[in-house]
Amino acid sequence: MSSHSKHILTIRLSAMGDVAMTVPVINTLLKTHKDLKLTVLTKPQFKVLFDFIPRVNVVCAEVKTKHKGLNGLYRLSRELKSLNLSEVADLHDVLRSKILDLFLFFQGLKIKKINKGRAEKKALVRPKRKIYKPLKTSVERYADVYKKLGYNIDINHLKLLKQQDLDASIREDLNFNPSKKQLGIAPFAAHNGKVYPSDLMEEVIKNLAQNTSLNIYLFGGGKLETSRLQQWAKPYNNVYSIAGRYNFKTELCLISNLDAMLSMDSGNAHLAAMFGVKVFTIWGQTHPYAGFAPIGQTQNEQILPDRTQFPLLPTSIYGNKKIEGYQNVMRSIEPQEVITKVSKYLLS
């Protein structure tokens, strides 16, 4: 197979933030290597993330139905065979992708997998003999996989996605005035260990909403989150709950038009970052040293709990571990610190 007909299968099934972080890497890869073909294997709900990149083919892994279990993965490998793939970049390396890799290996494909740095991450979050230092970022780890396949990616000059056109009806619905600053706030995360307390977040929103030159858009999903966001937005003319209001692609187009995003350590941070939007993140039991900080973010945009008060931080890679006495680490972050950081960037 000639270099002009190389066709890479990239595997990253979940989670949303991890899939979003692949987007600038893949975009850069294709812009750098113009003869490459690339297919992404991911879950159906993340297909839209790749709509913004020309030359990307997406195959959806239906892991709960036809691609479930060993037989389902074998079926998926047979479906993928028809694409005339030449090599596989496994950016996930979980049991499901390992099995699929094996099937594809027996089809004669070259397989390279991500090194997740599991031992280093474990050392970062363990309570004793903690090794507290910055680890390789997810983006670096993704780029390393392609490098193993022979494709260099300059991660210091990633090709981010362009700002998208926002439909006129959406602009009207949100009173989207280009003369104002546009701030997104995504106050939720998959695990409580990463969520800023609701009373403190409400105080942040209340304070920022006082500035009429600012429009604020609240992002989230699910019944409880939607209800809370609507409640928070209700008192203000310049605060809008986006939860359940538009489809995912429209939300992404809106995010691409923001001046900044305030988020937890969650998927929304990475959605904004892939469009080059300035992202401020509030961290709790997790930490940017684990490598999951949004692309392009500096330390100045990372709002962290007090490690003097909570020296065992970080206690978790994903925010799902409970450590006695560490339930309220995020209360050591004063709302005024958040307000000042965001206001200084947007309004000074």
Domain locations in the chain as residue ranges: 3-155, 168-347
pLDDT at 1 over 50: no
Q: For 302-338, what is each residue's pLDDT tens digit?
A: 999 999 999 999 999 999 998 999 999 999 999 999 9
Fold of 168-347: Rossmann fold (3.40.50)
Please state which CATH number belongs to domain 3-155. Answer: 3.40.50.2000
Helix H segments across 183-292? 198-209, 223-233, 248-256, 267-273
pLDDT at 4 over 60: no
The pLDDT value recorded for residue 348 is: 80
| Average pLDDT value over all residues in the chain | 97
> Do the domains 168-347 and 3-155 match in fold?
yes
Q: For 58-74, what is each residue's pLDDT tens digit?
A: 999 999 999 999 999 99
Q: For 111-170, what is each residue's pLDDT tens digit?
A: 999 999 999 999 999 999 999 999 999 999 999 999 999 999 999 999 999 999 999 999
Q: Are 53 and 26 in contact (CB under 8 A)?
A: yes
The DSSP output letter for 162 is P
Q: For 184-230, what is each residue's pLDDT tens digit?
A: 999 999 999 999 999 999 999 999 999 999 999 999 998 899 999 99
CA-CA distance, 46 to 250, in Å (whole number)?
14
pLDDT at 3 over 60: no
Tokens of 242: 């986006």
